[in-house]
């Protein structure tokens, strides 16, 4: 088809590449059906299938357009030749190329470009701590070929920086590109501001949305004041489309060799897993006199899930640590170094109607110290639960019935104490509840009976193979009084209106039948149940703000305390030592019973978020019997524009018999984010006032251009036996990756 003379859109006028900032996309002309074409020129001649276009020549097919001073086009063979300020655009792949001349077959998509300058829009994949940019990739060379989906660029370079003065370019005598798939460079030289940064005989970069290609990873080099130079080499093996393995080898020149293996898989559409193993062969530290202190070990982390069909689901999380000393010596994470617990859980679950079924294999390990063997290990191999949520079996009778039942094979191991491998425990608890509403007051009574059978007991710290049966009666009554509310029709910075609500509440709880508490082996909180008669009083203040039709809770302050009518909890309390019962851990995470008492600490919980980007939470226990404020913890977070601030404080004091004292403050301050152009700065620290020591500190300075970024980070570890300084750097290329010793999971930006 030969069209009438229609002027081309102004944005498609051929010429040199537009200046930086002008590439905001080009409106696609009217889509033509495949097999049809359109053309325009000041002068046109037709000789059978040959069409000669001269002066502002333009040819458009279904998915591409060509413009030049002269175009010769064969509508039968689909061969096209263009000369003079040639412009080519492929709308399907969002590619644009300017060149001196080209030959191209629009059917086979084979062609040759002379002195090309091209632009290709990148695939943006947003990930935490990865520099991204919407800037297109620029490429140029002496000539280029198009063969199907592949571009071959000769004696050229590529960059995603603004031209004509890019920060970086990658030069190569041959660049092999398949858009959306991969890019390969041979004898590639990376230049930063004209300075040659590195050379590689072969460079591969995946352009896929989820990159997976077998090959070596970029090596990294770092330095530690205690571990020495840290050299890392890696290899990625894409086994097939469902499985892959990443292996990283680390040489800690002053200590030994580290190994990191990450095995991922997706056996089916309904199942996936990820297994990570990290270990170090430690040569140790010479203490003198022929004594060498070694901290080698390993950590296994695994996670997976699967849909088993018929409503059954499998979930799993494994965290196994060979020794606490190992992770304290070699981890690069402060939270991992101070976390003294490892937990593993694999369970199968199914929910239907009012019922639930769970089967769980559980392992919990709590390291008391870094000394070998000084830990408590509790295993459930397995525990099976059958549960029913509240249901109303009788019409017009407000009674709700539910039940919990469980059977488990348990084991507890600790220094000088160990149960047999499979200690049985069976538990069954039906629960009945009703509700009454009188004069605006809600009364919610409930009653439960609970029977638990144990296959082993303890006596004077020794395991005894005697069965024990615990039969418990429980009664509770919740009293919910009418709320008090007042609305303030006054405009403030919080909103157009404010509403203050006060919610008083009281509850009574009775537990009886626990006669042999000290004979019960403690596996979990179910075994912490004791006799009690107690009342809990609580008062909650809520502040709501309304702006337009939007209503949100901007402040909550809750106060509550328990009154115990049985100060010894049925004789379970032992004076002069720390006592932990189910009733106490429901009040506070910190023990407070070392003698008989009638009241718990007063617990205060304050939360507020008056504006977006501003949050504060403070929880404290006030105990008049143990010196007033016994523990306090607050967290505050502020983000305004490019500024952010975070602070926290943890205070524990009082009787050291009940809990170890602590006084730590943490803080983080910064300016910017990982994708902000220009300078970005961040500092975080954890300081222990009790020992007068900065346990952890990180300072990072980052500078981002339109296409790349530079990061420098200094880290300080100082706790236990670890006293270490680390200095790390990284150079990031937007949408491509980073080079250096600073890994993305360790960055602030």
Give a yes or no: residue 184 inside a domain: yes
Give a yes or no: residue 388 inside a domain: no
Segment holding 381, helix H or strand E: strand 375-391
Give a yes or no: residue 24 inside a domain: yes
Give a yes or no: residue 236 inside a domain: no
Tokens of 603: 């617990």
Q: pTM of the entire structure?
A: 0.76
The whole-number pLDDT of residue 206 equals: 64
Closest CA to 536 of 511, 568, 504, 512: 504
Give a yes or no: residue 575 inside a domain: no
Task: Flag whether pLDDT at 739 surpasses 90.
Answer: no
Q: Which domain holds residue 137?
A: 10-206
Is the separation of the CB atoms in 258 and 250 below 8 Å? yes
Give a yes or no: residue 100 inside a domain: yes
For residue 416, CA distances in Å to 91, 161, 323, 574 come to 74, 66, 19, 21
Q: How far apart are CA 89 and CA 12, in angstroms?
A: 9
The pLDDT-based confidence of 262 (bands split at 50, 70, 90) is very high
What is the CATH classification number for the domain harbouring 184?
2.60.450.10
Task: Flag whether pLDDT at 257 surpasses 60.
Answer: yes
Closest CA to 702 of 733, 741, 672, 725: 672
Write b or e for each residue in 716-746: b if 16 or more Cβ atoms lie within 10 A of its Cβ, otherwise e.
bbbbeeeeeebebebbbbbbbbbbbbbebeb
pLDDT tens by residue, 198-234 = 888 888 776 555 556 787 877 777 778 888 888 888 8
The pLDDT-based confidence of 14 (bands split at 50, 70, 90) is very low
C-beta atoms surrounding 171 within 10 Å: 19
Q: Which of 66-75, 302-311, 602-611, 670-679 has the lowest mean pLDDT?
A: 670-679
What is the mean predicted confidence (pLDDT) over 156-185?
83
Q: How far apart are CA 123 and CA 312, in angstroms?
A: 38
pLDDT tens by residue, 575-615 = 989 999 999 999 998 899 999 999 999 999 999 999 888 99
Give a yes or no: residue 369 inside a domain: no
What is the mean predicted confidence (pLDDT) over 729-737?
77
Task: Flag whether pLDDT at 241 surpasses 50.
Answer: yes
Q: Give how many domains the chain has, as a whole number.
A: 1
Beta bridge partners of 716: 697, 725
Of 4 and 553, more confident: 553
Task: Flag whether pLDDT at 344 surpasses 80.
Answer: yes
Is the separation of the CB atoms in 315 and 299 below 8 Å? no
Closest CA to 685 of 729, 652, 647: 647
Is the separation of the CB atoms in 574 and 528 below 8 Å? no
Is the separation of the CB atoms in 600 and 587 below 8 Å? yes
The whole-number pLDDT of residue 545 equals: 94
Give a yes or no: residue 466 inside a domain: no
What is the mean predicted confidence (pLDDT) over 476-500?
93
The whole-number pLDDT of residue 214 equals: 81
pLDDT tens by residue, 388-434 = 999 988 877 889 999 999 999 999 999 888 999 899 999 999 999 99
């Amino acid at each position: 088809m030969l069209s009438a003379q229609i002027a081309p859109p102004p944005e498609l006028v051929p010429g040199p590449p537009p200046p930086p900032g002008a590439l905001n996309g080009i409106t696609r002309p009217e889509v033509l059906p495949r097999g049809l074409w359109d053309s325009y020129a000041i002068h046109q001649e037709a000789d059978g299938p040959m069409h000669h276009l001269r002066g502002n020549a333009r040819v458009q097919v279904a998915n591409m357009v060509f413009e030049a001073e002269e175009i010769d086009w064969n509508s039968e063979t689909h061969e096209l030749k263009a000369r003079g300020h040639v412009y080519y655009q492929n709308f399907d792949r969002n590619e644009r190329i300017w060149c001196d001349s080209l030959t191209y077959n629009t059917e086979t998509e084979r062609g040759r470009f002379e002195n090309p300058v091209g632009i290709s829009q990148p695939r943006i994949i947003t990930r935490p701590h990865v520099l991204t940019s919407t800037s297109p990739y620029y490429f140029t060379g002496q000539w280029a070929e198009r063969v199907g989906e592949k571009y071959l660029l000769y004696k050229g370079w590529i960059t995603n920086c603004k031209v004509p003065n890019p920060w970086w370019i990658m030069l190569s005598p041959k660049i092999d590109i398949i858009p959306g798939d991969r890019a390969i460079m041979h004898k590639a030289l990376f230049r930063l501001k004209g300075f040659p940064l590195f050379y590689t005989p072969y460079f591969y970069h995946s352009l896929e949305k989820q990159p997976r290609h077998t090959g070596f990873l970029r090596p990294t080099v770092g330095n530690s004041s205690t571990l020495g130079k840290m050299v890392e080499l890696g290899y990625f093996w894409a086994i097939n489309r469902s499985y892959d393995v990443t292996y990283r080898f680390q040489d800690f020149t002053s200590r030994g060799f580290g190994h990191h293996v990450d095995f991922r898989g997706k056996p089916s559409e309904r199942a996936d897993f990820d297994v990570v193993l990290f270990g170090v062969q430690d040569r140790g530290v010479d203490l003198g006199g022929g004594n060498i202190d070694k901290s080698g070990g390993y950590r296994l982390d695994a996670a997976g899930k699967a849909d088993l069909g018929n409503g059954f689901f499998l979930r799993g999380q494994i965290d196994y640590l060979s020794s606490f000393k190992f992770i304290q010596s070699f981890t690069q994470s402060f939270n991992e170094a101070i976390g003294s617990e490892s937990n593993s859980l694999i369970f199968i679950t199914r929910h239907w109607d009012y019922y639930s079924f769970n089967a769980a294999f559980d392992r919990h390990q709590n390291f008391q110290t870094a000394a070998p063997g000084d830990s408590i290990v509790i295993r459930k191999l397995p525990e099976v639960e059958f549960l029913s949520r509240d249901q109303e079996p009788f019409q017009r009778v407000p009674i709700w019935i539910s039940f919990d039942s469980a059977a488990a094979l348990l084991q507890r191991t600790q220094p000088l104490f160990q149960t047999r491998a499979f200690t049985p425990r069976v538990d069954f608890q039906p629960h009945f509840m009703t509700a009454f509403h009188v004069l605006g007051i809600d009364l919610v009574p409930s009653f439960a009976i609970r029977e638990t059978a144990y296959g082993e007991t303890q006596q004077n710290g020794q395991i005894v193979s005697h069965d024990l049966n615990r039969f418990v009666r429980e009664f509770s009554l919740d009293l919910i009084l009418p709320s008090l509310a007042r609305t303030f029709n006054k405009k403030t910075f919080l909103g157009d209106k404010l509403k203050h609500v006060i919610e008083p509440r009281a509850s009574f709880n009775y537990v009886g039948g626990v006669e042999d508490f000290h004979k019960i082996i403690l596996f979990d909180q179910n075994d912490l149940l004791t006799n009690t008669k107690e009342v809990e009083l609580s008062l909650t203040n809520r502040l709501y703000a309304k702006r337009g039709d939007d209503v949100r809770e901007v402040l909550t302050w809750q106060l509550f305390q328990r009154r115990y009518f049985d100060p010894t909890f049925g004789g379970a309390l032992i004076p002069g030592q720390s006592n932990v019962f189910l009733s106490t851990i429901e009040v506070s995470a910190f023990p407070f019973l070392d003698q008989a008492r009638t009241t718990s600490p007063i617990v205060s919980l304050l939360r507020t978020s008056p504006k977006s980007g501003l949050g504060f939470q403070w929880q404290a226990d006030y105990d008049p019997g143990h010196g007033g404020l016994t523990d306090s913890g607050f967290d505050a977070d502020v983000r305004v524009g490019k500024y952010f601030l975070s602070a926290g404080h943890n205070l524990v004091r009082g009787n050291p018999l009940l809990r170890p004292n602590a006084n730590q403050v943490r803080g983080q301050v910064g300016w910017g984010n990982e994708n902000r152009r220009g300078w970005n700065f961040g500092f975080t620290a954890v300081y222990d006032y009790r020992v007068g020591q900065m346990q952890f500190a990180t300072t990072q300075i980052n500078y981002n251009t339109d296409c790349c970024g530079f990061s420098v980070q200094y880290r300080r570890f100082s706790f236990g036996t670890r006293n270490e300084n680390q200095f790390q750097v990284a150079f990031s290329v937007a949408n491509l990756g980073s080079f250096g010793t600073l890994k993305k999971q360790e960055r602030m930006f």
